[in-house]
Structure 1
């Protein structure tokens, strides 16, 4: 399998087929290189590495999204964290940790986004 194929397999396992199918269907000539890049590198090179399990990678990803204020991707990665084995309690603990190290306002927003995503389960 190629890095792209490995990445697409992991991307589907972590984000779910529905999300990936929407992203692929929405790909345009303008965005196709970016979709290829994230599939090969983010999913095919990083998420496939043996050094961390997917649960740990999800915790790191949630923290990074909160820290950088990337709220538009947070709900997607909360759902991914659940697929990767994080419990609701563990997600709450990650966000509480983020409150201290990333800031209360960002954690407040993250709790609101995460609660909505978890309610959709």
Structure 2
């Protein structure tokens, strides 16, 4: 991977952008989207062998949320997906804001960000 990788997707009528930067062996992810991109959450994911004992990998995550923000769902999903795929410490910051967002728009955004995360994990492997 070059030093930076960026993916964009449109969901719920808005652009979502995920940028990954390599820092040594680790990754820093920035998620931005909606009407007012912001930092609503910080997630640090640390790789470990799964507790299932089946040889798969999982992550232990620490989360810092900005009061009143719900960005943890997206940032945690990205951090843990990349952390497990690459077996390296991964931090994700960012946020998506859309005034009067609907349940359908939320599902579209979650699906789009999840797909970008899967594509990024594949690119980084």
Query: Shorter-chain-normalised TM-score: which range?
Result: under 0.3
Which structure shows the higher strand fraction? 2
Which structure shows the higher helix fraction? 1
TM-score, normalization by structure 1: 0.27
